[in-house]
Amino acid sequence: MKLLNKINRTYLLSSLIVVIPGLVIAYFLIIFISSEETSEILHGNEQRVVQQIGRQQSIPDFYPLIDVQKVERAHPFEMKDTVIYNPVSRENEAFKEYTTYRIIGTQTYRITVRTPVIEKNDVVASLFLGTALLFLVILTVLYLINKNINHSIWLPFYSNLKAIKSFSLQSSEKLALQQTDISEFNDLNTQVIKLTNKVISDYNSLKEFTENAAHELQTPLSVVQAKVEFLFNQDTLTRKEMAALEIIMDNLQRLRRLNQSLLLLTKIENAQFDQRIPVFFNDFIGGILDSMKEMFEMKNINISLRQEGKFTTSMDLQLARQLISNLTSNILRHTPENGTAQIRIENDKITFSNSGTKPLNPDRIFKRFYKEGQTSTSTGLGLSIVQTICLQNNLSIRYHFSENDHYFVVSKEES
Amino acid sequence: MKILIVEDEQDLLESMTHFLQNEGFVCEKAFNYFTAEEKLVSFDYDALILDIGLPDGNGLDLLDQLKQSGKNTGILIVSAKNSLDDKIKGLDLGADDYISKPFHLSELNSRVRAVLRRRKFEGTNNIIFEEIEINTEQRTVSVNESLLVLTPKEFDLLLFFVTNKNRVLNRQSIAEHLWGDYMDTADHFDFVYTHINNLRKKLREASAGDYIQTIYGIGYKLSQP
């Protein structure tokens, strides 16, 4: 619900609460005043009738408004409500009736004057009708005002909202917000600008850190590696020392690969690969497969490439190659010897499948540093990189296991 | 052969210099942009090994100057960033090759020699080791003047051994030399082992001497008798 509608609804509800007792009071007031008014009119009419009888000796007769009868003796006056059938309108009508007994000359008269009174149902109906009309008018006016306010007062708010929505850390543009004469909006603008500036500066220092980390870590790694290689070439080494050096070297390589993969992952997350071009996957998948062909042969894995369609999407070519080579290495690493594997390209997806024994946990395989089994030489980042690349490029990656085959499917995300 | 090594990390500079001196190169050192620029202006070098991330300047600017001076110097760029941008820029500015940190010294040696071959010895692309003759341009090998048929990987392996003769090559550096960064897999030592066995077998069948020694637990070494 929009803020303005919420406020209006509250206003309308609270005015209803006030109006309903008001209506009751108004009803009783109207009844009371009209009753007083009627009594006065009846007294006046009675006086006129008495005067006329006195002056002209004639008896006026306007039934049912004035009704004069000669009577034997007087009674006390009487004021009451009554209903009389009106032959003209053919319905019963409510009247107020005032009856007095007067002695004019020697004759006693019974004078009855009547006047029609407002019917209570009519009062109630007209009160409600009037109020309802009033509310209708208020609603219409509010609607018109809202429309106008939306166009004037809320316009800067909506244009700022649009600016915030389209704000991106990757673009170097700073957030520019429209100023208004409404202090709440301006407060909000100031805070949002402060916040985004902070985010931008944090993001930049993170990027800077990533680049520095590359340099700062790679260089000491180079030094250590060079020194270990130097030691390798000493003739005086014992077997034990050599074995220790080899372990140092192995772990150095793992560290190096880990560092490179982490950097790659961070760079992808920072969207530093932004050279988007139309990428034709069919063009290079064969090449990547060829470069790993002998490794597949050595494990005696029968891998086939089926091109049943053309898979094309807009992304960074380097990332596209990384995606394919990671998924292909994944097959190479996890297919048992003498197994089979297949890469199938269709128009909307690429499927990497290979033989296996038991399903993997689809919730965990894309997590960082998750390793299936004891292949401790892998970094545990390959599939995370795959997932991150997919996320950044409107692709989806899904895993399933059926009939003793693992399936990794890269497909275009419906947008 | 005279080489200028530009590297701001002193320890690494020493290691590289020491290694390449043992390989028979005359090495000069520069640990910042200023010294490197001065040396490049004053002397001629056959090859330049250049770390482009220097504290007092961008190594790529040195490339530009060198290119303008028209000197025939083989250039190998070293970068810690492993970024494609640097690589493309460097190669555009006339560098011959690119290697990213951290690298194996044997790999560095092999790359430097490849750069020197490309730059200097046009027509003399033959490397001779005992009875084995390698033509790097046509990528052929002959033993006692009869042609030996090798797969591309076996050829690369033999060339890597010959350029780093009498040095222990660990399995990591061999795997990386042959497969580059694709070798992020578990079983690469087996691949290295298989390739080396095949190469040895072919050399033996061509009645070349068995020069490749296995160094237990570490790797292999091609020794001159």
How high does pLDDT run on average in chain B?
A: 85
Quickly state the pLDDT bin for A409 (edges 50, 70, 90): very high
- Contact call for residues B122 and B100 (beta carbons, < 8 A): no
Class of domain A154-272: mainly alpha
Q: What's residue A312's pLDDT?
A: 93
| Residue in chain B lying closest to A318 (CA) | B84
DSSP element (H, E) containing B198: helix B188-205
Backbone phi and psi for residue A345, each to the nearest 5 degrees, phi listed first: -100, 125
Q: What's residue A94's pLDDT?
A: 84
Nearest CB neighbour to B11, from listed A223, A250, A333: A223
Per CATH, the number for A276-412 is 3.30.565.10
> Tokens 């990428």 — which residue?
A279
Quickly state the pLDDT bin for A172 (edges 50, 70, 90): low
Max intra-chain CA distance, chain A:
163
Quickly state the pLDDT bin for B124 (edges 50, 70, 90): low
Phi-psi region of B119 (alpha: psi -120 to 50; beta: other; left: phi over 0): alpha
Q: What's residue B120's pLDDT?
A: 67
Nearest CB neighbour to A332, from listed B19, B185, B194: B185
Q: Is A241 on the interface with B (CB under 8 A)?
A: no
ipTM: 0.77
- Contact call for residues A229 and B18 (beta carbons, < 8 A): no
Q: What's residue B108's pLDDT?
A: 92
Q: What percent of chain A has pLDDT over 70?
A: 96
**Residue range B93-99: mean pLDDT, rounded:** 87
Task: Write out pLDDT tens, residues B140-182.
Answer: 999 988 899 998 889 999 999 998 888 888 888 888 888 776 5
Per DSSP, the residues of A202-229 read: HHHHHHHHHHHHHHHHHHHHHHHHHHHH
Task: Write out pLDDT tens, residues A138-148.
Answer: 888 888 887 78
Quickly state the pLDDT bin for B112 (edges 50, 70, 90): very high
Question: Which of A378, A367, A365 is closest to A254 using CA atoms?
Answer: A378
Hey, where are the domains in chain A? 3-141, 154-272, 276-412
Quickly state the pLDDT bin for A168 (edges 50, 70, 90): confident
Contact (CB<8Å) B217/A294: no
- Contact call for residues A406 and A334 (beta carbons, < 8 A): yes
Q: Give B81's contacts in chain A (Cβ within 8 Å).
A: 211, 214-215, 218
What dihedral angle (degrees, nearest 10) is formed by the CA atoms of A294, A297, A299, A301?
130
Q: What's residue A164's pLDDT?
A: 87
Quickly state the pLDDT bin for A215 (edges 50, 70, 90): low
Q: Would you tell me which residues 86-105 of chain A have a C-beta closer than 8 angstroms to some C-beta of chain B?
A: none
DSSP 8-state assignment for residue A18: H
Q: Between the CA of residue A114 and those of A53, A106, A191, A313, what are the distances in Å?
A: 17, 25, 77, 95
pLDDT at A226 over 80: yes
| Residue in chain B lying closest to A260 (CA) | B82
Contact (CB<8Å) B191/A298: yes
pLDDT at A340 over 90: yes
pLDDT at B186 over 60: no
Q: What's residue A309's pLDDT?
A: 92
Q: Give B102's contacts in chain A (Cβ within 8 Å).
A: 218-219, 221-222, 224-225, 252, 256
- Contact call for residues B163 and B224 (beta carbons, < 8 A): no
Quickly state the pLDDT bin for B197 (edges 50, 70, 90): very high
Quickly state the pLDDT bin for B58 (edges 50, 70, 90): confident
Other CB atoms within a 10 A radius of the CB of residue A322 amount to: 20
**Residue range B217-223: mean pLDDT, rounded:** 85
Contact (CB<8Å) A242/B216: yes
Domain over B126-222 is classified CATH 1.10.10.1200: no
Hey, where are the domains in chain B? 2-120, 126-222
Q: Is B15 on the interface with A (CB under 8 A)?
A: yes
Q: Which residues fall within 8 angstroms of residue A158, CB to CB, at 6 or more apart? A: none
pLDDT at A117 over 90: no
Q: What's residue A214's pLDDT?
A: 66
Q: What's residue B5's pLDDT?
A: 94
Q: Give A291's contacts in chain B (Cβ within 8 Å).
A: 179, 182
How high does pLDDT run on average in chain A?
A: 85
| Listed range (A188-202, A328-342, A375-389, B27-41) with the worst mean pLDDT | A375-389
Class of domain B2-120: alpha beta
| Listed range (A37-51, A87-101, A142-156) with the worst mean pLDDT | A142-156
